[in-house]
């Protein structure tokens, strides 16, 4: 028999050893690739999403020094909103460069892509810093409040698609090409004798106004008398570019949207509203309501209140509306007329002490022919007279506001 055809144990054992060595080499290479890949998975801190706002000064170990981006803001303000990913197992501390960057409830946190938010709690804030333990590499978002952007509004409006009582259109296009929405609720069968105008986000960072607006819209759509007798216009994003870009909005240079209601408006939305209002209201506007948030914390800013007018007859009507709201409120959040910021009660609402750069929405709308009552609701970011504010109870309070409108307008009708 030829050698080539004989059985050779040595040859087989050699081949097996070569195959084993090759397998070990492949496994080692895969291990190296995995190791390199893991090393490249660096922690990410970012704010490049709608409403995002943060500046990072430095990172040292597990401590990150951050601050709000003030951009075109005159002076100081406190709005911030950012996200962190790829931080599994790390306990990070975020240090802000100055005080008054947190509400009484500390940071607001979302682990589901901003669909829901929970307050970390004021006890978690030590001086100007807070710490968070990351359980996975998934994104975690942090903010000083409960953000509300275009995505929230679009999701809310889906439930009304095709409803013949509601129309959604555009107030105007903004400087950056975005649509500033206009929502109208109107009886399709008759012309109403009364109209109501509701605006929010004249200051971009004051997000709680849009949660109130959701509640007002929900109540109007479920209230037969309001739908039958009153036409509503809602403007959810007066500073639309500021909301989406994550601006402070308050004290914007050369003037913010809520000081842009006199002389020639510098912003597209305020100019469009001032042009639209006389054509739409037809002397039937009875209530004009602007939704805001006060300063970030402290006792004067941790309760819901209405802003009074320096016109005593208007302030009397505001007190009537406030009493109706207090006595007929059904939601869990407390409200007291005694907490109203009457004209002259505080420095910022004292015409003798404050020097605004232009008329506010409230002052402008008080001059509209036929208007009966115009006011501003200041709704805190996180804390109301010992109660923690959430997105849901803010919406519920908005329903109370709409119900108070119904009772107030019924009195006018009589």
On whether both 70 and 169 belong to a single domain, the answer is no
Q: Which residue has the tokens 């402008």?
A: 364
Lowest mean pLDDT of 19-33, 266-280, 325-339, name the range.
Answer: 19-33
User: Is 26 inside a domain boundary?
Assistant: no
On whether both 70 and 165 belong to a single domain, the answer is no
Q: How far apart are CA 400 and CA 298, in angstroms?
A: 25
On whether both 130 and 236 belong to a single domain, the answer is no
On whether both 333 and 232 belong to a single domain, the answer is yes
Which pLDDT value is given to residue 55? Answer: 98
82, 45 contact by CB (below 8 A): yes
- The alpha carbon of residue 50 and the mean position of all alpha carbons in its chain are separated, in whole angstroms, by 11
Residue 372 exposed, middle or buried by CB count within 10 Å (0-12, 13-18, 19+): middle
Which pLDDT value is given to residue 351? Answer: 74
Residues 91-103: tens digit of each pLDDT:
999 999 999 999 9
309, 361 contact by CB (below 8 A): no
Q: Is the pLDDT of residue 3 over 80?
A: no
User: Is 103 inside a domain boundary?
Assistant: yes
Q: Please give the C-alpha separations between residue 243 and each of 80, 147, 148, 204, 405, in angstroms, as whole numbers.
A: 12, 9, 8, 5, 27
Which pLDDT value is given to residue 380? Answer: 98
DSSP 185-229: E--SSS--SEEEEEEE-SSTT-THHHHHHHHHHHHHHT-HHHHHH
On whether both 134 and 196 belong to a single domain, the answer is no
Quick one: which of 413, 395, 3, 402 has its CA closest to 211?
A: 395
User: Is 336 inside a domain boundary?
Assistant: yes
362, 290 contact by CB (below 8 A): yes
User: Is 16 inside a domain boundary?
Assistant: no
Which pLDDT value is given to residue 355? Answer: 63
Looking at per-residue pLDDT, the higher value among 323 and 343 belongs to 323
Looking at per-residue pLDDT, the higher value among 347 and 267 belongs to 267
Q: How many folded domains does the chain comprise?
A: 2
On whether both 88 and 115 belong to a single domain, the answer is yes
| Average pLDDT estimate for 37-49 | 76
Looking at per-residue pLDDT, the higher value among 16 and 226 belongs to 226
CA atoms within 13 A on the CB side of 260: 24
Which pLDDT value is given to residue 347? Answer: 73
Angle at 407 between CA 404 and CA 408, to 5 degrees: 85
On whether both 120 and 254 belong to a single domain, the answer is no
Last residue of a domain, one of 143, 160, 182: 143
On whether both 217 and 274 belong to a single domain, the answer is yes
User: Is 374 inside a domain boundary?
Assistant: yes
Q: Which token pair is 403?
A: 């119900």
Query: Which residue segment(s) compose the domain that 65 sits in?
Result: 44-143
| Average pLDDT estimate for 10-37 | 41
User: Is 194 inside a domain boundary?
Assistant: yes
Last residue of a domain, one of 122, 143, 164: 143
User: Which letter does DSSP use for residue 252 in this model?
Assistant: B
Which pLDDT value is given to residue 37? Answer: 33
Return the percentage of the chain with pLDDT > 70, whole number: 89
Which pLDDT value is given to residue 357? Answer: 84
Last residue of a domain, one of 95, 117, 143: 143
Which pLDDT value is given to residue 34? Answer: 34
On whether both 219 and 270 belong to a single domain, the answer is yes
Under the banding of pLDDT at 50, 70 and 90, the label for residue 349 is confident
Residues 221-254: tens digit of each pLDDT:
999 999 999 999 999 999 999 999 999 999 999 9
User: Is 69 inside a domain boundary?
Assistant: yes
Specify the pTM: 0.89
CA atoms within 13 A on the CB side of 14: 4
93, 269 contact by CB (below 8 A): no
CATH of the domain at 115: 2.60.40.3120
On whether both 166 and 128 belong to a single domain, the answer is no
Residues 193-225: tens digit of each pLDDT:
999 999 999 999 999 999 999 999 999 999 999
Is the peptide bond preceding residue 254 cis, with omega within 30 degrees of 0? yes
Which pLDDT value is given to residue 345? Answer: 78
Which pLDDT value is given to residue 354? Answer: 66
On whether both 75 and 203 belong to a single domain, the answer is no
On whether both 278 and 355 belong to a single domain, the answer is yes
Which pLDDT value is given to residue 12? Answer: 38
Residues paired with 119 in a beta bridge: 108
Residues 327-342: tens digit of each pLDDT:
999 999 999 999 999 9
Q: Is the pLDDT of residue 287 over 60?
A: yes
- The alpha carbon of residue 413 and the mean position of all alpha carbons in its chain are separated, in whole angstroms, by 35
User: Is 93 inside a domain boundary?
Assistant: yes
CATH of the domain at 200: 3.40.630.10
């Amino acid at each position: 028999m030829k050698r080539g055809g004989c059985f050779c144990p040595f040859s087989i054992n050699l081949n097996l050893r070569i195959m084993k060595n090759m397998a070990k080499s492949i496994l080692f290479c895969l291990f190296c690739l995995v190791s390199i890949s893991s090393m490249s998975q660096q922690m990410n801190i970012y704010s490049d999403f709608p409403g995002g706002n943060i500046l990072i000064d430095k990172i040292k170990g597990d401590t990150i020094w951050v601050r709000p981006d003030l951009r075109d803001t005159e002076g100081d303000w406190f709005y911030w909103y950012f996200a962190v990913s790829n931080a599994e197992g790390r306990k990070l501390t975020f240090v802000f460069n100055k005080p008054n960057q947190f509400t009484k409830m500390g940071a607001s946190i979302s682990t589901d892509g901003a669909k829901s938010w929970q307050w970390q709690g004021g006890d978690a804030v030590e001086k100007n810093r807070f710490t968070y333990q990351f359980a996975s590499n998934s994104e975690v978002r942090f903010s000083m409040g409960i953000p509300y952007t275009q995505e929230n509004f679009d999701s809310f409006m889906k439930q009304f698609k095709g409803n013949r009582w509601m129309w959604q259109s555009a107030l105007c296009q903004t400087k950056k090409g975005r649509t500033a929405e206009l929502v109208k609720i109107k009886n399709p069968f008759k012309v109403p004798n009364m109209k109501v105008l509701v605006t929010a986000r004249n200051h971009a960072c004051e997000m709680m106004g849009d949660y109130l607006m959701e509640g007002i819209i929900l109540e109007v759509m479920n209230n037969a008398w309001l739908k039958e007798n009153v036409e509503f216009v809602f403007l959810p994003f007066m500073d639309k570019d500021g909301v989406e870009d994550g601006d402070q909005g308050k004290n914007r240079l050369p003037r913010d949207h809520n000081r842009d209601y006199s002389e020639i408006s510098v912003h597209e939305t305020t100019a469009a509203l001032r042009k639209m209002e006389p054509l739409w209201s037809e002397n039937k506007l009875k209530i004009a309501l602007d939704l805001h948030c006060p300063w970030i914390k402290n006792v004067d800013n941790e309760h819901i209140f209405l802003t009074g007018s320096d016109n005593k007859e208007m302030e009397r009507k505001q007190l009537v509306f406030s009493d109706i709201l207090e006595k007929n409120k059904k939601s869990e959040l407390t409200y007291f007329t005694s907490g109203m910021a009457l004209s002259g009660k505080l420095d910022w609402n004292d015409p003798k002490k404050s020097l605004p750069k232009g008329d506010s929405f409230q002052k402008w709308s008080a001059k509209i022919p036929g208007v009966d009552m115009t006011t501003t609701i200041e709704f805190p970011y996180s804390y109301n007279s010992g109660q923690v504010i959430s997105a849901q109870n803010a919406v519920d309070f908005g329903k109370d506001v709409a119900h108070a409108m119904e009772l107030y307008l019924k009195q006018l009708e009589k």
